[in-house]
Amino acid sequence: MEMTPLDEWMAAKIGLAGKDAPNPASLQDYQLAMLGKTLALARKNSPFYQRRLRDVDPHALKSMADITGLPFTSPGDLAASSLEMLCVSQGEIARVVTLQTSGTTATPKRIYFTLDDLELTADFFAQGMKALVKPGQRVMVLMPGPNLGSVGERVATGLGRIGCEAVVHGLVEDPGQVIEKINDLGIDCLIGLPVQVLSLARWPRKIAPGQIKSVLLSGDYVPRSITEAINRAWNCPVFNHYGLTETGLGGGVECQALDGCHLREADLYFEIVDRQGRPVEDGCQGEIVLTTLTRRGMPLIRYRTGDVSRFLTERCACGSNLRRLDRVRGRSVYKLEGIELRLDEMDEAIFQLDDILDFEVSIQRQDNKYLMNIGFWAVPGGGFYYGLDLAIREKLSKIPGLNQARAQGILSLNNVFSSSNKLFSNPIKRKIKRESYAQEH
């Protein structure tokens, strides 16, 4: 097994000579220096940070642990003050990403990147993807593109630098047509969203056995049941990537040990905090907080991502010292009278069924009760539709939160039906749909 390529990348970024691997002390010195530069830039050029960091003494930061003395930044700040967070003139901005925050009336978040910021993303992608591809491979990128700065374009640029050929296809709409293209072009690696790549693995028309050498899945979270199904279908390693627009797309990527994402710590500093914003002990679950260390356009300082995960404490089997992030939990949670219904738990259960391509959960309030409906998309032809609804009900009966809500008489699983007219509900942000005025968090 090869060590994560991020080890060498980080050593070069830190300026370590020759074969020295980055160790916690050298990484911390580097991160502290970069944090100091980021704070100085933010206080000098951004009206938002001038106010927010007014009482902060940058000389008081003696170690990265002292970062807890800095105030948080929230998605609300990004929605309300993004232009004031800029540290460069708007003329230097090469890409703006607008993201809808939760709630239909909420102001969107805007995140700005300079060309240098975009370059850092391509560099991270190039290095991180060395874990899954070798020069000469042909990779299909099933992500939005190909505009400058889009994830598809940045991944393709990164792949080009390490000698791979990249085809940016965009999102999958017709799996059969994509499979034909994969076969025609001799594609041997796929990068895409979990449900979308799963549809290719389960489609009746097959890719030749042994053709796909590796897969990289990225998205807001990656269900284990999907990773395992793809691994079984193609008998190839399935790597996981963690990233958000706010991380500059790339955030962390698995090495060949396939056991948690090594983080992009030359560009980003990660913390895990509890609900009150206090740091948790290593290994404990909490919210991921990130600070950009090298971004110029719009630095983020202690940004609360809303994503939940934990640092893995055991050393990685690849031998690297670099920290790893466990699987990120799904964000779609529906609260019924204090009981959590989680889409990630339903994903783990339902995607175990070989005939399922995708499904959508909606909850409807009726008087004092909630009705759950599930529309599913089955594998055409091969799927045996009759009985799949029962199989889904059976899988769901093993989820404790759902059982609790049903036992208390608050929730009933109303309708489980096959929906054949549409394949993907929303492949990028899958979520439990609210059909009336029930409260979603």
Minimum Å gap between C-beta 257 and Zn ion is 5
In 3D space, the residue among 257, 149, 241 whose CA is nearest the CA of residue 192 turns out to be 241
Per-residue x/- track, 295-324, Zn ion (CB under 5 A)? ---------------------x-x-x----
Helical packing angle, 224-234 and 194-202, nearest 10°: 30
CA 148 – CA 249 distance, rounded (Å):
13
Q: Are 394 and 352 in contact (CB under 8 A)?
A: no
Minimum CB distance to Zn ion smaller for 239 or for 376 = 239
Minimum Å gap between C-beta 242 and Zn ion is 14
CA 95 – CA 332 distance, rounded (Å):
28
Minimum CB distance to Zn ion smaller for 261 or for 405 = 261
Is residue 255 at the binding interface for Zn ion, with CB under 5 A as the rule? yes
Minimum Å gap between C-beta 320 and Zn ion is 5
Is residue 257 at the binding interface for Zn ion, with CB under 5 A as the rule? yes
User: Which residues touch 22 (CB under 8 Å, ≥6 apart)?
Assistant: 7, 10, 11, 14, 16, 30, 321, 322
Is residue 425 at the binding interface for Zn ion, with CB under 5 A as the rule? no
3-state DSSP of 236-272: CCEEEEECCCCCCCCCEEECCCCCCEEECCCCEEEEE
Token pair recorded at residue 19: 């074969």
Is residue 253 at the binding interface for Zn ion, with CB under 5 A as the rule? no
Is residue 388 at the binding interface for Zn ion, with CB under 5 A as the rule? no
In Å, the largest CA–CA distance within the chain is 69
Write the DSSP string, 365-429.
EETTEEEEEEEEEEPTTTS--TTHHHHHHHHHTT-HHHHHHHHTTSEEEEEEEE--S-S-S-SSS
Q: Which stretch binds Zn ion (CB under 5 A): 106-114, 253-261, 275-283, 332-340?
A: 253-261
Minimum Å gap between C-beta 255 and Zn ion is 3
Minimum CB distance to Zn ion smaller for 227 or for 320 = 320
CA 248 – CA 161 distance, rounded (Å):
19
Minimum CB distance to Zn ion smaller for 3 or for 207 = 3
Is residue 201 at the binding interface for Zn ion, with CB under 5 A as the rule? no
Minimum Å gap between C-beta 131 and Zn ion is 8
Minimum Å gap between C-beta 258 and Zn ion is 9
Is residue 4 at the binding interface for Zn ion, with CB under 5 A as the rule? yes
Residues between 53 and 82 that touch Zn ion (CB under 5 A): none
Sign of CA dihedral 420, 424, 430, 433: negative
Minimum CB distance to Zn ion smaller for 14 or for 318 = 318
Q: Are 379 and 203 in contact (CB under 8 A)?
A: yes
Minimum CB distance to Zn ion smaller for 322 or for 402 = 322
Per-residue x/- track, 95-124, Zn ion (CB under 5 A)? ------------------------------
Minimum Å gap between C-beta 237 and Zn ion is 13
Please give the size of the binding site for Zn ion, defined by CB under 5 A: 6
CA 93 – CA 57 distance, rounded (Å):
29
Minimum Å gap between C-beta 13 and Zn ion is 18
Minimum CB distance to Zn ion smaller for 215 or for 255 = 255
Give me the residues that bind Zn ion (CB under 5 A), please: 4, 255, 257, 316, 318, 320
